[in-house]
Amino acid sequence: MCGIVGYTGDKKAIDIVVDGLRRLEYRGYDSAGVALTNGEGKPLLVEKRAGKLGNLESALDSRFGSSHSGIGHTRWATHGGPTDSNAHPHLSDDGKLAVIHNGIIENYVELKKELLAKGHAFSSETDTESVAHLLGDAFKENGGDLAEAMRMVCKRLRGSFTLLAVHSDDPKRIVGARRNSPLVVGVGKGENFLASDVAAFISSTKSAMELGQDQVVIVTPSDVTVTDLDGKKVEAKSYEITWDAAAAERGGFQHFMLKEIFEQPKAIADTLLGRIEESGKVSLPELESMADALATDVDRILILACGTAFHAGLIGKYAIEAWAGIACDVELASEFRYRRPVLDPRTLVVTISQSGETMDTLMALRHAKSLGAKALSICNTHGSTIPRESDAVIYTHGGPEIAVASTKALLTQVIALHLFALYLGQVSQGTSGKPSSASSKNSRSTLSASEAKKIGSELLGLPSKVEQVLETVEALREMTRGFKDATSVLFLGRHVGFPSALEGALKLKELAYMHAEGFAGGELKHGPIALIENGTPVIAIMPPLGSEIREKMASNIQEVKARGAHVIVIADTATDIPATDFAIRVPATDELLQPILSIVPLQVFAYEMALVRGNDVDQPRNLAKSVTVE
Ligand code: AGP
């Protein structure tokens, strides 16, 4: 939930750190701060301010230009409000050591009591300040070894943390540590970087190193060393970042969210690339290691995710059940953890996460694995924690998603689930994925070769169909402005249209700060229809021609219209629709693929509503891009 950056090298550290924080501001923007070293034994240069990064920048004076090493933090408040004193970094008593933190120290109260009893003075309400004092004491006790101090302190901490620390006695060294919270190393020439996310340093280097649980990293301008908490050296995994810096910039769009909406055709195409043929044959080499298990040892899929990723799971469930004939449940990760789930080795848990760092999803994954389940992750962020702790991963190739509101991640997650559903049907033959046919004796797939072929070609046709939807964006934005004073908007859908309605409602809530609710059409008469009054805006998602629920959805539209609702229908071009106030037309496609097209107008609707309401589209209030606390 916070952005963390560290730099040590020969450049002006303040420039690198502030630029990195700007690229990570989407992770949290309640306050920001920096701590730079300024030569051996010289006092640290520390500045921190509540509010957005600009507040900090205006407080930085020329002294900060002389440093070549330091750390920076942009905060999403957990313990203690967004004030100057609660902003990171936090200092040891002597002011010589500074630390920044992402995560939650669950045992900070007892640690703080112990430190207060030892005479330490506290100047903030944060959990992090206890770490600063512990590190200061450990540094003194072990004769000035910052890395050893970090290892000693981490052994005492419970909860999640990414920590970076600097000490004025050791000005070129930065020491970091992570548990359940992201930290990546950027490896440069004569300089090195540390950050929550590669976006912070991608313009300087594409060589990265991922860190595992309970590992400590020590960086100087010329060296990167990784150890475990006992000080034993560890070989960290290096990788090359495939994104380029431009991809992480806005590219001329007013907001990252609009850019990412328009990137969806390419994101879908990149996620499909090399994975499906016209015949419908799917190849997912990343699943080869579990192909046999999928064929014979799995009889239940359990999808665990949060927010928009959860909605992707709800949509994908229909394809898994329809095309692979396997039971599939979808559950909120934050709920799964706290019930006594009945899992066994024949259950495959599939986590879905754009960031790969969502704490609720990570903890649910661990819980499921502890119960013996195999784990597959669908993720958009290489080297992140959730894929690293899964048995296999299907990466969506959506590119960096910077806006807090998830758009292209959702569509590519659904595409990955569609590929997985087809793959599940194919491997059941124990073959290298020949197109499934219901006639195959041991095929789990319900699809004939021609049906698989039709779905394959529909999937490959989606990028251009999304392009067609994007051509209607201006009209959509115009229509949306007519609803800017609405106090509530209802979203109605059936079958795969129901999770689409849930996603439309979530987008509107998180962007326009409006009350919005998604309903299953069949549930309307069981209560929610009482909400309908004259002028209530209702967005209804019409199933395609030939759907067995088309007539029922048409009746739902009539029912709400008869009670005064102002109805906007999203329907494909082949479907006739009841007379409504506004029709949004999308290209026709297979019923299970329709959400890929019908959700795009819902994204644009929420985007425009946020704009007309003067909200911060890319960084909505109270939210952060990656929720790395429970
Ligand atoms: C969606 O627009 C939100 N940003 C949020 O619901 C998000 O989908 C959720 O926090 C899950 O994030 P993840 O995909 O990174 O795990």
42 burial (CB, 10 Å; 0-12 / 13-18 / 19+) is middle
**What is the best residue among 27, 355, 401 to mutate for testing ligand 1's pocket, by most ligand atoms within 8 Å of CB?**
355
Q: If you measure from the C-alpha of residue 355 to the centroid of ligand 1, how many angstroms do you get, rounded to a whole number?
A: 8
- Ligand 1 atom closest to 413 (CA): 14
Looking at the structure, tell me whether residues 527 and 602 fall in a common domain: yes
Ligand 1 pocket: which of 311, 336, 358, 386 to mutate (most atoms <8 Å of CB)?
Answer: 358
Q: Is 306 annotated as catalytic?
A: no
Using DSSP bridges, classify how beta strands 582-586 and 566-572 pair: parallel, antiparallel or unpaired.
Answer: parallel
Percent of the residues in the chain that have a pLDDT greater than 90, as a whole number: 73
Judge if 425 and 522 occupy the same domain: no
With respect to residue 529, please indicate whether it lies within any of the assigned structural domains: yes
- Nearest ligand 1 atom to the CA of 406 is 2
CA distance 432 to 430: 7
pLDDT of residue 441: 46
Does the pLDDT value for residue 442 go beyond 80?
Answer: no
Both structure tokens of 72: 């920076």
Q: How many Å lie between the centroid of ligand 1 and the Cα of residue 498?
A: 18
Domain end residue (candidates: 428, 460, 492): 460
What is the arithmetic mean of pLDDT over 418-430? Answer: 85
- Tally Cβ neighbours within 10 Å of residue 240: 9
| Number of compact structural domains in the chain | 3
Query: Got the DSSP string for 474-511?
Result: HHHHHHHHTTTT-SEEEEEE-TTHHHHHHHHHHHHHHH
Res. 26: pLDDT tops 80: no
Predicted confidence at residue 436, as pLDDT, reads 39
Q: How far is the CA of 141 from the centre of ligand 1 (A)?
A: 43
* Out of 136-150, 271-285, 428-442, 562-576, least confident range: 428-442
In this prediction the pTM is 0.76
Within 239-306, residue ranges assigned H as helices are: 256-262, 264-272, 291-296
Residues 104 and 50 in one domain: yes
Cα 411 to ligand 1 centroid, rounded to whole Å: 13
The confidence band for 251, taking pLDDT boundaries of 50, 70 and 90, is low
Residue scoring higher pLDDT (280 or 360): 360
Confidence of residue 496 (pLDDT cuts 50, 70, 90): very high
Residue 350 CA to ligand 1 centre (angstroms): 16
The reply to whether 365 falls in a domain is: yes
Residue 556 has pLDDT above 70, yes or no: yes
Q: Which of 196, 257, 306, 330 to mutate to test the pocket of ligand 1 (most atoms within 8 A of CB)?
A: 306
pLDDT at 618: 93
Please say whether the beta carbons of 8 and 68 come within 8 A: yes
Name the residue at shortest CA distance from atom 16 of ligand 1. Answer: 353
Averaged pLDDT score across all residues of the chain: 91
Asked if 206 and 241 count as a contact pair (C-beta separation under 8 A), the reply is yes
Residue 621 is assigned to a structural domain of this protein: no
What pLDDT does 624 receive?
A: 81
Residue nearest to atom 10 of ligand 1 (CA): 307
| Ligand 1 centre distance from Cα of residue 625 (Å) | 7
Per the annotation, the verdict on 625 as an active-site residue is yes
- Name the band, by pLDDT with cuts 50, 70 and 90, for residue 248: low
214 and 114 within one domain: yes
| Enclosing H/E stretch for 218 | strand 215-219
**Residue 78 confidence (pLDDT):** 67
Residues in Cβ contact with 448 at an 8 Å cutoff, skipping those fewer than 6 apart: 437, 438, 439
Confidence at residue 147, expressed as pLDDT on a 0 to 100 scale: 97
- Domain stop point among 460, 490, 517: 460
Over residues 180-198, the pLDDT tens digits come to 888 999 999 999 999 988 8
Question: pLDDT band at residue 435, thresholds of 50, 70 and 90?
Answer: very low
Q: Residue 429: its pLDDT value, please?
A: 58
| Per-residue confidence (pLDDT) for residue 49, from 0 to 100 | 94
Is residue 418 located within the same domain as residue 395?
yes
Q: In this model, does residue 245 exceed pLDDT 80?
A: no
Between strands 347-353 and 327-332, the pairing is unpaired
Percentages of the chain per state (helix, strand, coil), in multiples of 5: 40, 20, 40
- Tell me the C-alpha to C-alpha distance, in Å, between residue 188 and each of 72, 114, 132, 185, 294: 18, 40, 28, 10, 41
Residue 626 lies in a domain: no
Which pLDDT score is estimated for 437? 40
Question: Mean pLDDT over residues 375-395, rounded?
Answer: 92
Q: In this structure, are 289 and 362 located in the same domain?
A: yes
Residue 431 has pLDDT above 50, yes or no: no
Closest among 323, 286, 288 to 459, alpha carbons compared: 323
Residue 57 sits in the same domain as residue 81: yes
The Cα–Cα gap between 267 and 237 comes to: 27
Instruction: Tell me, yes or no, whether 189 and 301 share the same domain.
Output: no
Quote the pLDDT of residue 439.
Answer: 38
User: Distance, CA 435 to ligand 1 centroid (Å)?
Assistant: 34
Examine the domain organization and report whether 85 and 214 are in the same domain: yes
The encoded tokens of residue 301 equal 């899929």
Amino acid 1: pLDDT: 57
* pLDDT score, position 72: 97
Confidence of residue 75 (pLDDT cuts 50, 70, 90): confident
Q: What is the CATH number of the domain that holds 415?
A: 3.40.50.10490
The SS3 call for residue 66 is helix
Asked, for residue 629, whether it belongs to a domain, the answer is: no
Which residue among the candidates 112, 317, 374, 625 is catalytic per the annotation?
625
Domain boundary among the residues 247, 276, 311 is at: 247
Tell which atom from ligand 1 comes closest to the C-alpha of 507: 2
Output the CA 400–ligand 1 centroid distance in Å: 14
Atom of ligand 1 nearest to the CA of 407: 2
Measured distance CA(530)–CA(550) in Å, rounded: 23
User: 2, 306, 328, 379: which is the annotated catalytic residue?
Assistant: 2
Measure the CA–CA gap between 41 and 96, rounded to whole angstroms.
8
- Confidence at residue 428, expressed as pLDDT on a 0 to 100 scale: 66
| pLDDT (tens digit per residue) in 139-163 | 999 999 999 999 999 999 998 899 9
| Atom number, ligand 1, closest to the C-alpha of residue 307 | 6
| Cα angle, residue 382 at apex, residues 379 and 388 outer, rounded to 5° | 75
Atom of ligand 1 at shortest distance to CA of 361? Answer: 16
Q: What is the residue with the minimal CA distance to atom 8 of ligand 1?
A: 308
Least confident window among 72-81, 264-273, 297-306, 426-435:
426-435
What's the mean pLDDT in 58-69? 94
Instruction: Let me know how long the chain is.
Output: 630
User: Helices 307-324 & 497-512, crossing angle to 10 degrees?
Assistant: 170
* Domain, as residue range, for 538: 472-612
Residue 284 has pLDDT above 90, yes or no: yes
pLDDT band at residue 440 using 50, 70 and 90 as cut-offs: very low
Cβ–Cβ under 8 Å, residues 238 and 207: yes
Q: Tell me the CATH number at 139.
A: 3.60.20.10
Residue nearest to atom 4 of ligand 1 (CA): 405
List beta partners, residue 394: 378
CA of 193 to the centre of ligand 1 (A): 26
> Distances in Å between the alpha carbon of 267 and those of 200, 270, 320, 407, 419?
22, 5, 22, 10, 15
Q: Are residues 403 and 500 in the same domain?
A: no
Residue range 124-142: average pLDDT?
95
Residue 233 and residue 324 share a domain: no
Give the mean model confidence (pLDDT) for residues 608-620: 94
CA-nearest of 415, 311, 385, 304 to 352 is 304
Contacts for 254 with CB less than 8 Å, ≥ 6 apart: none
pLDDT at 434 over 60: no
For residue 407, the CA-to-ligand 1 centroid distance in Å is: 10
For residues 12-20, average pLDDT: 96
Confidence (pLDDT) at 399: 85
Q: Determine contact, residues 5/62, Cβ cutoff 8 Å.
A: no
Residues 6+ positions from 431 with CB-CB distance below 8 Å = none
pLDDT band at 239 (very low <50, low <70, confident <90, very high): very high
What is the predicted pLDDT for the residue at 134?
97
Ligand 1, CB within 6 Å, residue ranges: 306-309, 353-355, 358, 361, 404-406, 510, 626-627
* Residue 184 covered by a domain: yes
Residues 523 and 376 in one domain: no
For residues 334-341, give the mean pLDDT. 92
Q: Which amino acid is at 189?
A: K
- Structure tokens, 424: 């599940």
Q: What mean pLDDT is predicted for residues 494-514?
A: 97
Q: Residues 4, 164: contact at Cβ < 8 Å?
A: yes
Residue with CA closest to ligand 1 atom 5: 307
Residues in Cβ contact with 153 at an 8 Å cutoff, skipping those fewer than 6 apart? 131, 134, 135, 138
Most confident of the following: 114-123, 427-436, 444-453: 114-123
- Quick one: which atom of ligand 1 is closest to the CA of 381? 15
Mean pLDDT along residues 3-12: 96
Question: Could you tell which of 396, 627, 629 is best to mutate to test the pocket of ligand 1, judged by most ligand atoms within 8 Å of the CB?
Answer: 627
Say what the pLDDT of residue 443 is: 63
552 inside domain: yes
Does residue 495 sit within a domain? yes
| Distance from residue 214's CA to the centre of ligand 1 (Å) | 25
Give the atom of ligand 1 at the shortest distance from the alpha carbon of 358.
Answer: 16
pLDDT digits 0-9 by tens, 309-331 = 999 999 999 999 999 999 999 99
Tell the residue nearest (CA) to atom 6 of ligand 1.
307
